[in-house]
Amino acid sequence: MIMTVWQGVATIVAVVVGTMLTRFLPFLIFPESKQPPRIIEYLGAVLPYAMTGLLVAYSLRNTPVFTGSHGAPEFIACAVIVALHCWKRNMLLSIAGGTVTYMLLVQLVF
């Protein structure tokens, strides 16, 4: 089916409004002049660790453990991520370093 021009425009407008709502709504609900509720502060402190744990579990869920060299690149990359994060405490550096390590191991070593 071919979209009409108006359907395309309506789609773009809906995407822009949705994006603006998700960007600006938190600032309208929780202005800087007011203290946010304690539950919001608690979630802000706990959710990054929960998300990281969920990401690790999701990433490694189908990894065969200790069957030949299968699983070795994943666990080496995880060790690099942990080491980089303990050393520099920079999430972006840790993720980038682990990703580069994993890709190099998969492409060149294993």
CB crowding 68-77: b at 16 or more within 10 Å, else e:
eeeebbbebb
User: Does residue 10 belong to any structural domain of this protein?
Assistant: no
Angle between helices 38-60 and 72-88 (to 10 degrees): 150
User: Does residue 24 belong to any structural domain of this protein?
Assistant: no
User: Does residue 20 belong to any structural domain of this protein?
Assistant: no
pLDDT tens-digit map of 39-69: 989 998 999 889 888 888 888 888 877 677 7
User: Does residue 5 belong to any structural domain of this protein?
Assistant: no
Residue 89 domain boundaries:
35-109
Confidence grade of residue 77 (pLDDT, cut at 50, 70, 90): very high
- Domains in the chain: how many in total? 1
Contacts with 81 (C-beta within 8 Å, 6 or more apart), sequence order: 94, 95, 97, 98
User: Does residue 18 belong to any structural domain of this protein?
Assistant: no
User: Does residue 68 belong to any structural domain of this protein?
Assistant: yes
pLDDT of residue 1: 58
Residue 62: CB atoms within 10 A of its CB come to 6
Contacts with 79 (C-beta within 8 Å, 6 or more apart), sequence order: none
User: Does residue 102 belong to any structural domain of this protein?
Assistant: yes
pLDDT of residue 70: 78
